[in-house]
Amino acid sequence: MIKPHGSDTLNPLFVYDAAKNEALQKAAADLPAIIVSSAAAANAVMLGAGYFNPLTGYMSKADALSVAKDMKTTAGLFWPTPVLNLVENAGNIKAGDRIALKDPNVSGHPVLAIMDVEAVESFSDEDMAMMTEKVYAPAAGEAHPGVDAFNSQGKVCLSGPIQVLNFSYFQSEFPDTFRTAVEIRNEIAERGWKKIVAFQTRNPMHLAHEELCHMAMDRLGCDGLVIHMLLGKLKKGDIPAPVRDAAIRKMVELYFPENSAMVTGYGFDMLYAGPREAVLHAVFRQNMGATHFIIGRDHAGVGDHYGAFDAQTIFDNEVPKDALDIEIFRADHTAWSKKLNKVVMMCEAPDHQKEDFILLSGTKVREMLGNGEAPPKEFSRPEVAKILIDYYQSEAANA
Alpha carbon distances (Å) from 190 to 160, 184, 229, 288, 309:
35, 10, 21, 14, 35
User: Does residue 252 contact residue 204 with C-beta atoms inside 8 Å?
Assistant: no
Cα distance between residue 337 and residue 357, in whole Å: 5
Provide the strand spans (E) within 136-191: 156-164
The catalytic residue among 11, 21, 151, 203 is 203
Sign of CA dihedral 70, 74, 80, 85: negative
- Buried-state track 19-46, b at ≥16 Cβ within 10 A, e below 16: eebeebbeebeeeeebebbbbbbbbbbb
Q: What is the CA radius of gyration of the chain?
A: 21
User: Does residue 359 contact residue 335 with C-beta atoms inside 8 Å?
Assistant: yes
Alpha carbon distances (Å) from 278 to 106, 107, 180, 270:
28, 32, 19, 11
Backbone angles phi, psi at 70, to 5 degrees: -125, 5
User: Does residue 115 contact residue 161 with C-beta atoms inside 8 Å?
Assistant: yes
Residue 202 known to be catalytic: yes
DSSP string, 99-135: EEEEPTTSTT--EEEEEE--EEEE--HHHHHHHIIII
Residue 43 known to be catalytic: no
Please name the amino acid found at residue 306: Y
The catalytic residue among 11, 21, 151, 202 is 202
Cα distance between residue 203 and residue 205, in whole Å: 6
Catalytic (active-site) positions: 202-203
